[in-house]
Structure 1
Amino acid sequence: MSRNRHPLFMPLILVGGLIFGFGLAYSHMARPEVVLDFLQFDDLGLLFVMFGAAVVSGIAFAVMPRLRDRAPLTGDVYGRRLKSLDRNVLIGGGIFGVGWGLSGICPGAAYASLGIGNVTILWAIAGMFAGAYLQGVWRSQRTAAEAAPTGAD
């Protein structure tokens, strides 16, 4: 990633986050009970929200590289970063899904939920931070163990 970012990069990230949060709150997707109703197939409104986001993102990802060779705010070259479907993706996705199902909220919507006054969501946010921290510790220990010499030299 380029170090010479446009001066408006961070303010525009903030504006994008505000729009995202407002959209989640406006569509009621920042309310865990609505998300849980979706997961139980009682209210499929979340499908329309997700479809709308996918359409806008898909158009942007398809059109922007044809209009410009570099991202306007970072100067980075457009490119695809594909993550292979491996064991870590499947396990991580499964864990994420269980957390989403138990709390009724995903990380982005959790912050938006704070904005609509759902203070008890702080428990879920604390759990997200703790889980991310523990995964980082686990990965660091695993990497260190793999890098350690395994025999007498």
Structure 2
Amino acid sequence: MRLVLGFASGLLFGLGLILAGMSNPAKVLNFLDIVGAFDPSLAFVMGGAALTTFIGYRLVWRRGQPLLMSDFQIPTRKDIDRDLLTGAALFGIGWGIGGFCPGPAWTALPLATPGILAFLPSMLAGMALALFVKGRRLRMA
């Protein structure tokens, strides 16, 4: 049941990204281009997502536990370290250059455009490299 609900959640998320235009890199790049062909429509998408999340969390926290698990999985770290800042910067640079972030990149894969066929493998290689460097750093410590 958990697998089915996870799949349904991912499918709903992907469809939402497609309908919002987030799998279209031109729309994303126009949103980021505040001095050129600026397109503010994605701000409404992000605002709607923030509002939905705000309301959803308020409703979920009223429950004693999740439907399919024994407890809520809440991150405990609150520090801001070098890894977080580096990852955020790389994420932003990749988003600005490619016009994709990871979720919309996967939803655009069936289009098989040259941009996505270059971006997605590069993103995966970067993730693998990050895991390798982090593992190596942990072994050296």
Provide the TM-score with structure 1 as the length reference: 0.82
CA gap 1:27/1:73 in 2 versus in 1, 3 angstroms: same
Q: How far did 1:87 drift?
A: 2.2
2:53 to 41, 50, 57: 57
Counterpart CA distance in 2 for 1:128 and 1:29 is: 17
Q: Gaps spanning 5+ residues in structure 1: where?
A: 1-7, 147-153
Q: 2:96 is matched by which residue type in structure 1?
A: G
The answer for the alignment partner of 1:44 in structure 2 is 40
The answer for the alignment partner of 1:102 in structure 2 is 97
| Residue correspondence of structure 1 range 63-82 to structure 2 within 5 A | 63-66=59-62, 68-77=63-72, 79=74, 81-82=76-77
RMSD of aligned alpha carbons: 1.6
The answer for the alignment partner of 1:17 in structure 2 is 10
The answer for the alignment partner of 2:79 in structure 1 is 84
Q: How far did 1:113 drift?
A: 1.3
The answer for the alignment partner of 1:119 in structure 2 is 113
Q: Gaps spanning 5+ residues in structure 2: where?
A: none
Q: 1:5-56 CA distances to partner (integer Å, 9 max, x unpaired)? A: xxx1111111111111111111211100100000112001111111111111
Q: 1:91-140 CA distances to partner (integer Å, 9 max, x unpaired)? A: 1101110011111000000011124x243202211011100111111111
CA gap 1:55/1:118 in 2 versus in 1, 3 angstroms: farther
Identity among equivalent positions (%) equals: 36
Q: How far did 1:81 drift?
A: 3.4
Instruction: Report SS of the residue matched to 1:69.
Output: coil
CA gap 1:80/1:59 in 2 versus in 1, 3 angstroms: farther
Q: 1:36-83 CA distances to partner (integer Å, 9 max, x unpaired)? A: 0001120011111111111111111122111x1111122223645343
Provide the TM-score with structure 2 as the length reference: 0.89
Q: Select the structure with the greater relative contact order (CA < 8 A; seq sep ≥ 6).
A: 1
The answer for the alignment partner of 2:132 in structure 1 is 137
- The number of equivalent residue pairs is 137
